Structure 1
Amino acid sequence: MDDVWDVVIVGGGPAGSAAALRARQLRPDARVLLLDKAAFPRDKACGDGIAAHARVELATLGLPDLIADYRPTSRLSVVSPGGARVLATVARPNHVVPRKVFDARLVEAVRAAGVEVRHHRVRSVDARDGYVLVDGAIPARAVIAADGANSAVRRLAGIPASPDGHTAIAVRGYADVPADDDVQLIAMQREGWPAYAWSFPVGDGTANVGFGMLLPGLRATGLPGRAVLHGRLAELLPHLPARDLRAHHLPLSTGRPTPGAGRVLLAGDAGSFINPLTGEGIYYALLTGRLAAEAVMQYGEQGGHAQGPLRAYRRKLRKALGRHLLTTDVLAFASRSPGFIDAAIATAARRGDVFDLLVDVGLGAGTVPLPLAAAVVRRWLLDGVRRR
């Protein structure tokens, strides 16, 4: 087919934009189409945190200064479920940029790279011999689904969503803070664990604030979800009355589905690439979007093996995130005990290397060396003995 697109990307957030930019980087003549049901700029419920690993991905995509006008934040305070506290300076600063701004800038960069962007809602995805047909009229050698936690493309491709037990739900708003507030705060709650509130100052006199917990825990309260989420946020951050509250689902990587089917690949939230310890997803989105585009550009040629892009994508994911995702799977299981988190935070308060490691695992692609894991486990066991 002469009118076939090299790749159609559904979703214009970080994952989809990263995929579009990378495809054009690798093949400047590639026919790339980006579809999104929303018009930009648009709001997106999120913690808005952009960690150092995500900025590295932006630089890789040719956008090193995309958020340079936003103030870096170097200090992080964490309060564990049992009250252990740590306040320290992170090895590399983070940024907080509202998604209404961040995503719109990415889409503009995509347009500038020569990608066609359309306001379009996808309703059908059908596999054909050598290509995928979107909505009966848009043929593509491959499709990258980057359309979020409730991905329509994932459903249309027959790939199940993350189970409820691996899904969190959070509410996000904004609050007024002193303009010089430069401490990111995570305050955990034992009730309904795992659950925590956050405050991430933007740098303009406002902070992104929110509260999240696992979906089964929310349902177990027997109360309306809005009342629980809003009430817990107000309880944990009483000094930060929030406005513009919006809820959103977080499909965690512990329940991630297969990353695609045939010539359809899942990136970002659509593939459940969300850190189960922190809810961080922007770095994963940028990374997986880039890797999906690389796989498509390598194996997406017309007439190639139908599983070629998916096989290439699996290999790239395994190399970039395999050990890290195994680490977060294990830590997510261990952290079902709030005492384990108490021990981790207490150890981080005494040891800077543990603090740096926890940040790297929670916000990037870090793994846990055995000696440091042993230090946390020892503290956990000792605390358990003392409580007897």
Structure 2
Amino acid sequence: MDEFDVVVIGAGPAGAAAALAARRKGATVLLLDRDDFPRDKPCGDGIAAEALDVLKDLGVPDAAGGYPAVPRLRLVGPGGAAVARELPRAAHTVPRRVFDARLVAAAVAAGAELRRHAVRKIAETGGGVVVDGRFRGHVLIGADGATSIVRRAVGETVNPPGHLAFALRGYAPTANTDEQLIVTTRQQWPAYAWEFPIGDGTANVGYGEVLRGRALSRAYLERRLREMLPGAEPTGLRGHHLPLSTRRPAPVRGRVLLAGDALSLINPFTGEGIFYAVLSGALAGEAAARRDPAAYRIALRRRLGRHLRHSRLVALLSREPRVVDAAVRAADRDGRVFRRMVELGLGDGVFDLRTIGRILGETVRRHPATP
């Protein structure tokens, strides 16, 4: 049986970041994935500046190299209110077949051992965690996505309706080069469509909505996408689940840690998950290398605890479409409100009393109390 300090299951952004962080601490690392790289992964492909900060600290300074910055965001509320402003920090759109392959290559270059292997069974023993009777790690990190085998193996169920979204993603020609577009809708709320330009005359486009206990057909999702992005003619359409952070499993079970989508780290307001993935992966990898799983729980709470409480509150409030429209109007009037919304939706930001007050003010202005 092959033995390692750390075994990471899943070589996406969370897993690659975990491997990089563990190697920087000198641990031996096995990185397992069922696919070869490069491989496609259905996703919005949006890479926030905060995610690139984490990767730079892990020794990957050019994860978005060759893909131009996208400096602006246009957000359309469910009632038609709109705001378009410069992002506090420019984002990038990098196809996951490129982005993930770069991170895996960086992990391998740092000394992680990559093997193609479809995991079926994990078992914790007195001396570590055994994978399929072939590999043993002192600590195991489950970074194997929304349908995580590791998560199920430690007794954690999948997210229930209301805490799980589904999205359809494709690529379409566009003349847009410098603006991320998010269009929300009252129909089947909460739901939205997006267009994120890549910089080569195409954009990542998609539509998603929170699942409410009924199946969504591909025909329905394609129709909604075309209704909300008129003129879009996407190809390469693929669907994916998004386990929202409003219902997270325990991050640590004995010697097993969960990171990224396996930990339901998807922003419930925007659907963003890359920043959460690389950050949680980095924190998990460092704790695993130190052979101190409990340190991961503490690090997560310290770095994301307050933010996740705020994003959960915003998700609850945004169940009312008029509140979202009020937030969009407030962001259009006030650049500081816009900045707070972006930082909460794309990074680890929080709302302050001033932002909340501005949004409430817009709500009252449009919906005054009746005597």
Q: Given the two structures, how large is their TM-score scaled by the length of structure 2?
A: 0.97
Percent identity over the alignment is 52
Partners of 2:171 and 2:203 within 8 A in 1: yes
Is the 1:6–1:32 contact (alpha carbons within 8 Å) kept by the matching residues of 2?
yes
- Count of aligned pairs between the two proteins: 371
236-245 vs 16-25, which moves further: 236-245
Q: Give 1:367's match in structure 2, choosing from 337, 342, 350.
A: 350
Q: Write the letter of the residue equivalent to 1:189.
A: T
Q: CA deviation at 1:386?
A: 7.9
Q: Give RMSD over aligned pairs.
A: 1.5
The residue number in structure 2 matching 1:58 is: 55
SS in 1 for 2:3: coil
Correspondence for 1:120: 117
CA distance in 1, matches of 2:332, 2:257: 41
For 2:296, which of 313, 318, 324 is the aligned residue?
Answer: 313
Q: Which residue of 2 aligns with 1:268?
A: 260
More helix by share: 1
Alignment of 1:71-90 (within 5 A): 71-90=68-87
Q: Does 1:330 align with 2:313?
A: yes
Question: How far is the alpha carbon of 1:260 from its aligned partner?
Answer: 2.6
Superposition pairs of residues 108-147 of structure 1, within 5 angstroms: 108-147=105-144
Partner of 1:305: none
Distance of 2:284 and 2:121 partners within structure 1 = 21
Question: How far apart are residue 4 of structure 1 and its match?
Answer: 2.6
Show structure 1 runs of 4+ deviating over 4 A.
Answer: none
Q: Which residues of structure 1 form unaligned runs of 5+?
A: 301-307
After superposition, residues 1-388 of structure 1 pair within 5 angstroms as 4-27=3-26, 30-178=27-175, 181-216=177-212, 219=214, 224-298=216-290, 300=291, 308-309=292-293, 311-385=294-368
Q: After superposition, give the CA deviation of every residue in 1:314-356 in whole Å (9 maximum; x if it has no partner).
A: 1000000000000001000000000100000000001000011
Cα distance in 2, alignment partners of residues 112 and 293 from structure 1: 16
CA contact (8 A) 2:190 2:210 kept: yes
Q: CA deviation at 1:156?
A: 1.4
Task: Give the CA deviation at 1:139.
Answer: 1.1
SS in 1 for 2:367: helix
What TM-score results when the alignment is normalised by the length of structure 1?
0.93
Provide Cα deviations, 1:36-77, integer angstroms capped at 9, x if missing partner: 001111000000000010010111111112212110000110
Residues 168, 6 of structure 1: alpha-carbon distance in 2 compared, 3 angstrom cutoff: same
Please state how far the C-alpha of 1:130 moved relative to its aligned partner: 2.7
Contact (CA 8 Å) 2:70, 2:177: kept in 1 or not?
Answer: no
Gaps of at least 5 residues in structure 2 are none
8 Å contact 1:159–1:260 — kept in the other structure?
Answer: no
